[in-house]
Amino acid sequence: MTELKRMATEPRRRPKQERSRERIDAILSTTMRLIGEKGIDAVTMKEVGMLAGGPIATVYHYFPNKSAILAMLYERFSEVSRARLSAIVADVREAKDIIVAADRLLDDYRSRVAGDPAIQD
pLDDT for 4: 47
pTM for this prediction: 0.76
pLDDT in tens, 39-90: 999 999 999 999 998 888 989 999 999 999 999 999 999 999 999 999 999 9
- Does residue 36 have a pLDDT over 70? yes
| Distance (Å) of CA 93 to CA 57, 86, 121 | 52, 13, 36
From 100, 99, 115, 105, select the one nearest 85 (Cα to Cα): 105
CA 40 to chain centre: 13
pLDDT for 55: 84
CATH number for the domain running over 3-116:
1.10.357.10
pLDDT in tens, 1-34: 454 454 445 555 566 577 888 999 999 999 999 9
| Distance (Å) of CA 73 to CA 80, 94, 118 | 11, 35, 10
Q: Are 63 and 8 in contact (CB under 8 A)?
A: no
